[in-house]
Amino acid sequence: MITFTKVSKQYVDQTPALHGVSLKIPTGDFVSIVGQSGAGKSTLLKLLSAEEKPTQGNIVIDGWDITKIKNWQVPYLRRQIGVVFQDFKLLPKRTAFENVAFAMEVGGALPKDIRKAVPQILKLVNLLDKSDTYPNEMSGGERQRISIARALAYKPQILLADEPTGNLDALNSWDIVQLLMKINKLGTTVLLATHNDDIVNALKKRVVTLNQGKVVSDQEAGTYKL
Amino acid sequence: MIGISFARVLRNALRNFRRNVWLSIATTVIMTLTLLTISFLYAVNVLGVHVLSTIEQKVDIAVIFKDKTTPAQIQTIKKDIELRSDVESTRLITADQAREDFRRRHADDPYIEEALRELEVNPLPSSMFIIAKDPRFYETINSSLQSEKYAAFIDKVNFQNSKAVIEKMIRIMDVVKNAGLIITATFSLLVILIMFNTIRLAIYSFREEIDIMRLVGASRWYIQGPFLVESVLVAVMSVILSTSILYFSLHTMAPQINQFFFAGQNANFDIYQYFVDHWLQAIGIQFGAAVLLAVVSSYIAVRRYLR
Ligand SMILES: Nc1ncnc2c1ncn2[C@@H]1O[C@H](COP(=O)(O)OP(=O)(O)OP(=O)(O)O)[C@@H](O)[C@H]1O
Ligand SMILES: [Mg+2]
């Protein structure tokens, strides 16, 4: 369970990026977060991964109040939360396998565990045959799947996807969304920030709409409407 | 888990070193030079202290009596001198004693033994050593020994104005030490600057990777460790290099160095032997200085560019 209680976030003195946001997201939920550019979608996700800290309010993840998280605790939080971005953020000089292994190495996994787990994760994202391929030899959709595979390296409770389909065509986008659904079915809470109305409408999942930092609608099986 | 993460930090440190290998080598060279100047300073200090103490021990006046001076006359002069308020003590070596000493020292040389026996008269003179209460008094003791009063009995007064020598030594050592300190300070600053830049460049070339490390939950140690460890590796390599250079140059040059500092003082001090006996201290000083420089510069770089 993720709980936002009256959360505000103000970057340097301007209108707040988030303003009095209260949300409850039960474990295993799939939530799309929509809104115009600058509405505060990315900010909401960054607060969860502790890239930013809220100016006001409280954020609690499974009983852990991360509102005033200490710097040294952030790595532990990050290992429970997978993150995926529009620009993939893969290491170009490493193969698909190595990119996923990288995340496990950082967490101190043993080489034999890495050798065992990475193929399983690559299989989950349907890219086992691309193990030894470098990112620049892959399509955008494939790259995004590798980045999702990396996000899954720690078997996170929560997956944050910030416009993961932003750089992809419709077909590839749909592939990625299918994958996110599959991961969600396996028990991971998924938060998807997106502009893509077709996807949101087809998902028939919960939709939270932000406007100028405020939650303006929150519907189960919602649709994209601005 | 601690072990494997340390192995990875070490691996990344080595990779950092290789990424900017020429800069890393330059850092190692400058660090080695710094350690060598520090060692040089240390050696000069050790040598200086030993030279001074041998000179100080040696300060005395040696009076050589004429052959015809009788033992009674010698005793009178001895009493006379001992009464002086500036004299600490005297030591008389009669001609007979001198011969005995000489014999004993060349006991295993049959030719000398024979030569002495063949000589009817003792070729060695009686002599007397005078030690003053303070080195400053030697001048006056010397001049009174040179006076008319003793001219008939004393052949020669051996007195080297050691006070001047000592003062000159101290002055030279001060100059060397100051120059050494300035050179050390300059090199140290250079080391910090170059190392800081090496680490900064390494951080820059791995920034993408570092961002992703953060993203996937790398600990601070995992991210910063390689840069600190890299700098400590440079420090360790520099210590090994400079110690080897020090060892081999002392090994080959010790006779000349000893000769230069202790010429004609029959002091049994050997700078090479000193280094061998005090190796732990010699390496420890270098290691301390190297690690200090390394940690300071990499810590500043990491603080500044890895926040
Ligand atoms: N690091 C930052 N410093 C200052 N202001 C920021 C920062 N990040 C975001 N903002 C501002 O906060 C507001 C919300 O930004 P945010 O990135 O959360 O919007 P978004 O909904 O993700 O937009 P988009 O759809 O374009 O990605 C914007 O006005 C933005 O300019
Ligand atoms: Mg955004």
Looking at chain B, the whole-number percentage of residues with pLDDT higher than 70 is 94
pLDDT of residue B248: 94
Which pLDDT band holds residue B132 (cuts at 50, 70, 90)?
confident
| CB within 8 Å: A89 and B213 | no
pLDDT tens profile A44-58? 999 999 999 999 999
**Least confident range of A145-159, A200-214, B90-104, B131-145:** B131-145
Which of B208, B212, B218 comes nearest A75 by C-beta?
B218
A113 near B CB under 8 A: no
The larger pLDDT score, comparing residue B20 to residue A205, is at A205
pLDDT grade for B243, boundaries at 50, 70 and 90: very high
Which is more confidently placed, A124 or B53?
Answer: A124
**Does B1 contact A83 at a Cβ distance shorter than 8 Å?**
no
* Residue B162, pLDDT score: 62
Q: What is the 3-state secondary structure (H, E, C) of chain A?
A: CEEEEEEEECCCCCCCCEEEEEEEECCCCEEEEEECCCCCHHHHHHHHCCCCCCCEEEEEECCEECCCCCHHHHHHHHCCEEEEECCCCCCCCCCHHHHHHHHHHHCCCCHHHHHHHHHHHHHHCCCHHHCCCCHHHCCHHHHHHHHHHHHCCCCCCEEEEECCCCCCCHHHHHHHHHHHHHHHHCCCEEEEECCCHHHHHHHCCEEEEEECCEEEEEECCCCCCC
Nearest to A160 by CA among A26, A31, A20: A31
Establish if A105 touches chain B: CB-CB under 8 angstroms. yes
Q: State residue B109's pLDDT score.
A: 78
- pLDDT at position B3: 84
pLDDT at residue B267, as a whole number: 65
B64: exposed, middle or buried (C-beta count within 10 Å: 0-12, 13-18, 19+)?
A: middle
E strand residue ranges, B120-256: 127-132, 154-158
Instruction: Please tell me the distance between residue A40's alpha carbon and the centre of ligand 1 in angstroms.
Output: 6
pLDDT above 80 (res B52):
no
Pick B267 or A136 by higher pLDDT.
Answer: A136
Q: Which residues of B touch A153 (CB under 8 A)?
A: 216
Q: Give residue B163's pLDDT.
A: 64
Q: Find the mean pLDDT for residues B113-122.
A: 77
What is the C-alpha separation between B280 and A31, in angstroms, rounded?
Answer: 65
The backbone torsions φ and ψ at residue A85, rounded to the nearest 5 degrees and listed phi first, read: -120, 165
On the question of pLDDT at A19 being above 90, the answer is yes
Residues 197-256 of B with CB under 8 A from A: 208-209, 211-220, 222
In the predicted model, is pLDDT for residue B2 greater than 80? no
pLDDT at B59: 67
For the cut 90, the answer to whether the pLDDT of residue B226 exceeds it is yes
Which string of DSSP letters, residue by residue, matches B232-293? Answer: HHHHHHHHHHHHHHHHHHHHHHHHHHHHHHHTTS-----HHHHHHHTHHHHHHHHHHHHHHH
At A37, the amino acid letter reads S
* A89, A109, A154: residue with CB nearest B212: A89
Domain locations in chain A? Answer: 1-80+157-226, 91-155
Q: Are A146 and A96 in contact (CB under 8 A)?
A: yes
pLDDT value at residue B137:
80
Check whether B97 has a pLDDT greater than 70.
yes
Q: Cβ distance B130 to B80 under 8 Å?
A: no
Residue A186 confidence (pLDDT): 94
Domain boundaries, chain B: 2-55+168-306, 61-159
- Chain A residues whose beta carbon lies within 8 Å of the beta carbon of residue B1: 108, 110
A44 C-alpha to ligand 2 centroid (Å)? 9
Nearest Cβ partner for B217 among A71, A78, A110: A78
pLDDT of residue A169 exceeding 70 = yes
CA A126 to chain CA centroid, Å, is: 19
DSSP labels, B41-94: HHHHHHHHHHHHHHHHHH--EEEEEPTT--HHHHHHHHHHHHTSTTEEEEEEE-
Q: Identify the residue among A105, A152, A154, A162 best suited for mutation to test binding to B, counting B beta carbons within 10 A and taking the highest.
A: A105
Residue nearest to atom 31 of ligand 1 (CA): A38
> Mean pLDDT throughout B2-24?
89
In this structure, the residues whose C-beta lies within 6 A of any atom of ligand 1 are: A 11-12, 17, 35, 37-43
Measured from the CA of A39, which atom of ligand 1 is nearest? 21
Ligand 1: which of A9, A11, A48, A163 to mutate, most ligand atoms within 8 Å of CB? A11
What's the pLDDT at B86? 87
Tokens of B74: 């010698």
Question: Which chain A residues are within 8 Å of B213, Cβ to Cβ?
Answer: 106
CB contact under 8 A, A108 and B4: yes
Measured in angstroms, how far is the CA atom of residue B192 from the centroid of ligand 2?
A: 41
Best B10, B210, B216 member to test A by mutation, with max A CBs in 10 Å, is: B216
> What tokens does B69 get?
């001076």
Give the mean model confidence (pLDDT) for residues B219-245. Answer: 94
Task: Please count the other Cβ atoms lying within 10 Å of the Cβ belonging to residue B127.
Answer: 20
A105 and B212 in contact by Cβ < 8 A? no
Q: What is the pLDDT of residue A20?
A: 93
Tokens 């649709």 -> residue: A223
pLDDT value of position B20: 85
Pairing label, strands A81-85, A2-9: unpaired
Task: Return the pLDDT at A148.
Answer: 97
> pLDDT at residue A96 above 70?
yes
Could you give the angle at which helices B21-58 and B162-205 cross, rounded to 10 degrees? 170
Q: Is there a contact between A150 and B219 if contact means CB atoms under 8 Å apart? A: no
Q: What is the pLDDT of residues B164-187, one digit of tens each?
A: 776 777 788 788 888 888 988 998
B161 pLDDT band (50/70/90 cuts)?
low
CATH topology of domain B61-159: Alpha-Beta Plaits (3.30.70)
Average pLDDT in chain A: 94
Residue B91 β-bridge partners: B129
At A49 the pLDDT is: 95
B281-298 mean pLDDT: 93
Residue B205 CB neighbours (<10 A): 13
DSSP B134: S
pLDDT at residue B58, rounded to an integer: 65
Q: What's residue B265's pLDDT?
A: 65
Flag if B222 and A106 touch (Cβ within 8 Å): yes
Give CATH for domain A1-80+157-226: 3.40.50.300
Mutate one of A100, A106, A114 to test the B interface: name it (highest B CB count within 10 A).
A106
- Residue A35 CA: which ligand 1 atom is closest? 21
Range with the largest mean pLDDT of A166-180, B101-115, B251-265? A166-180
Q: What percent of chain A is modeled with pLDDT above 90? A: 90
Mean pLDDT for chain B?
Answer: 86
Q: Yes or no: say if B271 and B254 are a contact pair by the CB < 8 Å rule.
A: yes
B189 pLDDT above the threshold of 70:
yes
Among protein residues, the one with the nearest Cα to ligand 1's atom 3 is: A11
